Amino acid sequence: MAIDSARVFRAIMQAMARPGLVMNASQSLAAPTPLLQTTAAVALTLCDFQTPIWLAPGLRSGEVDRYLRFHSGAPITARIEEAQFIFALADDVPQIQALALGTHEYPDRSATLVIQATGFRNTDVELSGPGIRAAASFGVEGLGAPFWAAMAENRTRFPVGIDVIFTSNKSIAALPRSTAIKLKEIA
């Protein structure tokens, strides 16, 4: 298994710097189902023995647990509030309030939510804020108005709150906690 961690890390940083911009991050990893190669690449690039991971039920299996432990050294925790990285499917995202949001003294102690989805679209929300020249339309397959409302509220907590990385088959996008979100009509 080979992973170009530097290339994946650059893609993640570019996605964080430009919220809502979909970046190519294709990998040829032998990731266990249901983990997408791109999701696995994000995990193996960002997680290590000091970063507890929580897996949503739709991603959790003995094979995925063993894969992530072996290749990253990251411990898998059953307690979501202890995790620094939360991996979830778009149709089963945990409540934002249950995640580590950091403190005003240590905002860097917040969790990063990684959401695996089938794809992206430009119909759900309008993004503005740092890294966005003009309001940008963005959306993720499988995420509805409740998620976007929770993320809009997440911004009101800044500098605390969570950051989100979205993964699909060959792409990533990101939503830092500093991004303002305006909901559109979601079908």
* Confidence class for position 3, pLDDT limits 50, 70, 90: low
Residue-wise pLDDT for 66-87, tens only, equals: 999 999 999 999 999 999 999 9
Per CATH, the homologous superfamily of domain 5-183 is Bacterial phosphonate metabolism protein PhnH (3.40.50.11310)
Q: DSSP string covering 89-123, please?
A: ETTSPPPGGGS-B--SS-GGGB-EEEEE-S-EEEE
187 pLDDT above the threshold of 80: no
- In the chain, what are the domain boundaries? 5-183
Residue-wise pLDDT for 26-70, tens only, equals: 777 889 999 999 999 999 999 999 999 999 999 999 999 999 999
Torsion angles phi and psi, residue 54, rounded to 5: -120, 135
Average pLDDT for the chain: 92
